[in-house]
Amino acid sequence: MSFSNTQGKAEGIPSPHNTSSIDNMEKTVASQDKAKDTPDDEAYSIIAPSEEAPIIPYNVKSGDPLPIPDGLPEEGNQFTFRAVAVGCLLGSVVQASNMYLGLKTGFTFGASLFGALFGYALLKPLSKSKIPFFGGYFGPKENCTVQTAATASGGLGILFSTGVPAMYQLGLLSPNPKDDIAKLILFAMAGAFFGMAFAIPLRTHYVLRQKLLFPTPTATAIAIQRLHSGPEGEETGKKQVKCLALAFSGSMSLRVLSQYLPGIVWKWHWGWWLYLMGAKQAVGIDNWTWYFEITPAFLGVGILTGLNASLSFYLGSLIAWGIIGPILVAKNIAYGSQRFPDVYPEIYDYQSLSSSFTTATHPSARYWLLWPGVLLLIVSSFTELGLNGKKMVMGIWEIARTAFNTVFHQKKTNEKASSDDRDTLKDPAAGHLVPPVAWGSLLVASIILTCLVMKLKFQVQLGITLLAIFLGFLFSFIGVQSCGDTDINPISTCAKASQLIIGGATHSYAIPKHALTVNLLSGMIAGAAANQTTDMVGDLRAGHLLGASPANQFYSQFVGSFFAIVLAPSLFVLFSQAYPCIIDLEAKTCEFGVPSVGAWRAVATAVTAKGDLPIPKSSAIFAVVMSVVGMLLTIIKYKFVPRNKRKFIPNMNAVGLGFVVNFTGYASAMALASILTYFWKKKFPRTYEVYAYSLAAGLMSGEGLGGVLNAMFSVAGIGGKKYGSSALCPGKQYCG
């Protein structure tokens, strides 16, 4: 479950693409031809016409490089120290933010537009100085290098906010993650470079031949071009950067302050407040997590996600935690425990996953609701992919055919190729491509390294590792096609599919714990490969539009990946030291809900189980019924409902997510922000175009980095648990 890298990602929720950056770019009826086949309501909202003309007229569907603004000097070396250094720094900020957001909520956001805007803000003034390595002309192609390095260095965090914590919760690794840091870094290295190796050969088909849109990378490219398009673009850029900086600093400051005054400035437990006033039954509102959290990150997500996804997420939360959960407890189907039995007996906890309390025959409400949510996510996601399957299969076939002809019939193919084909596949970057020996050698080295790490450090058989790598390559096609069409990177779906396939291959394993280890590690390898490939192809699309060198982007990705290899596991260790409950299923309370971890753990447990599944019977029956309903609704939505009416049908992936995420405040914040943004965009489209992404990115990254600072303060012994106030918190206990 994730909501990021090139795009933001979440389990089943359309990503927060920057609709503003490419609004108004398409003025012909043909712009809707491809959109009507797209399996997502939000995917082509970026093509919506506007009354005001764009700064740079451009047909986003043409696939051609953007027009070069007049008066720009010729750029020399694009792969510079300053571009890579600043890109890696900004990517590291996103990595840190995403580690916090991923563990807390399962959502992450992409680094590309963040890197492009902040990179411009940092390097444009420095380029006018005489500081060594930082002075000299800074143009759009070098700006592309910044965002490419940011994307690469901001990656891999998804491994450490999903599968890795699940392994610790299941007792598959050392009790203290700090003791495993070397092993974790090696595992990160094993999954870091497949994306680069896979992405280069896929560029020709998806960027040049199919000319997929890739909304966020296209938005990034157009944003970069606008920033460098003269005084008007520079002035707009200054406004965007100022907005981003203010939102970032304000969000970060609020998050740091909130650990010391959580009940006042962060969590408004209004059910508890009513309880204190004498309305004893009102505390039930708080028991079921219907309190409001002032979370800038999810206000930012709501700005970009759109009404359909946000309201669907809220609908799922309402059904799960407002209707089904209370009914389950009232009927003694699910259970809760009193938090303060001697003082406040009305306060209950329905969130426990502890083995001492929760079993298949005595489930907590959260455990019961988890299974329908996970199955609905999987079934709905695969249904959407299946509806678009023909296009993906044709893409795989076309790439295989092209590769075969290139190797065995190159001369014959060249002789018979029509002039139209040559024009279609003409590469503007010819002469600046990545040599096949470079990406081929990287691929071979990555395969060897992964096999060695998996065998020597985790005792995973060679055949299983190779199967995971193959699945990662196969799912790369799905990820790239989906992301290019709809801006949705279905990483969670691909990873879950890998877990199911690997589970079948390892079902005969005699040792259950080893089967769990193999399942989770293999799923992460396959998911990371597909995720990184999708991100890298998106970067190459942005570079293609800006006329940047693919070779320079490849080298930027390589350097940025090394930052991610060390930073991602280090951040995970930091959070596990500050908040041990992240890796402890027996913990009674935890500030981090780790919903993605729960989904990974649930799938691994189910596919490796011997005998009866560890699922309550009533939950399993409801999960099947709900998934069938979700599948049918998805088919009806995309096969029988006119495209302009689909927005009225819920996104069933987002509904399922409402069951998995065990706190309703995130859905409430997203829904509120989406509603306000709808009216903002409708009434003031120009200000929305300028400020929407900057505001959202600042809110998301600011809260994330503030969460990292809180973790550091906690480890240092100066955090909220020691010095914070319990004012207005339930039970008069600290609630930070």
Would you state the pLDDT for residue 13? 46
What Rg value do the Cα atoms of the chain yield, rounded?
A: 25
Specify the pLDDT at position 55.
41
pLDDT(239) > 60: yes
Residue 53 has pLDDT above 70, yes or no: no
In a domain, 426, yes or no: no
pLDDT tens profile 489-526: 777 778 888 888 898 888 777 677 889 999 999 999 99
Q: Is the pLDDT of residue 220 over 50?
A: yes
Whole-Å CA distances, 510 to 517, 557, 608, 610: 13, 41, 10, 9
- pTM (two decimals): 0.85
pLDDT, position 510: 64
Q: Does 656 have pLDDT greater than 50?
A: yes
Q: Kindly state whether residue 503 falls inside one of the protein's structural domains.
A: yes
Closest CA relative to residue 582, chosen from 167, 221, 245, 103: 103
Answer yes or no: is 689 within a domain.
yes
Q: Both tokens of residue 59?
A: 């047909």
Residue 227 domain-assigned (yes or no): yes
Please say if the pLDDT value at position 23 is more than 60: no
**Residue 728 is assigned to a structural domain of this protein:** yes
Give the C-alpha separation, 613 to 550, whole Å: 49
pLDDT band at 538 (very low <50, low <70, confident <90, very high): very high
In whole angstroms, what is the distance from residue 564 CA to residue 99 CA?
Answer: 12
Q: Which residue has the higher pLDDT, 503 or 668?
A: 668
Residue 545 lies in domain = 1-70+82-414+436-736
pLDDT-derived band at 211 (thresholds 50, 70, 90) equals confident
Residue 65 reports pLDDT greater than 70: yes
Q: Each residue of 248-282: pLDDT tens digit?
A: 999 999 999 999 999 999 999 999 999 999 999 99
Q: Which of 233-242, 496-505, 632-641 has the highest mean pLDDT?
A: 632-641
Least confident of 141-155, 373-387, 639-653: 373-387
**pLDDT range class, residue 622, cuts 50, 70, 90:** very high
* Mean pLDDT value of segment 546-555: 93
pLDDT at 30 exceeding the cut of 70 = no
Residue 425 lies in a domain: no
For the stretch 136-146, pLDDT in tens is 999 999 999 99
Is residue 216, in this structure, part of any structural domain at all?
yes
Mean pLDDT of 217-242: 86
pLDDT of 723: 94
Mean pLDDT of 76-90: 93
Q: So what's the pLDDT on residue 95?
A: 93
Cα angle, residue 661 at apex, residues 387 and 150 outer, rounded to 5° = 75
pLDDT confidence of 330, banded at 50, 70, 90? very high
Structure letter (DSSP) for residue 533: H
Mean pLDDT of the chain: 84
pLDDT band at 734 (very low <50, low <70, confident <90, very high): very high
pLDDT > 60? residue 26:
no
Q: How many domains is the chain built from?
A: 1
> Do residues 510 and 500 touch, judged by C-beta distance below 8 A?
no
Q: In DSSP terms, which residues pair with 349 in a beta bridge?
A: 337
Within a domain: residue 429?
no
pLDDT of residue 420: 45
- Range 100-121 average pLDDT: 88
Strands 344-349 and 292-293, by their bridges, are: unpaired
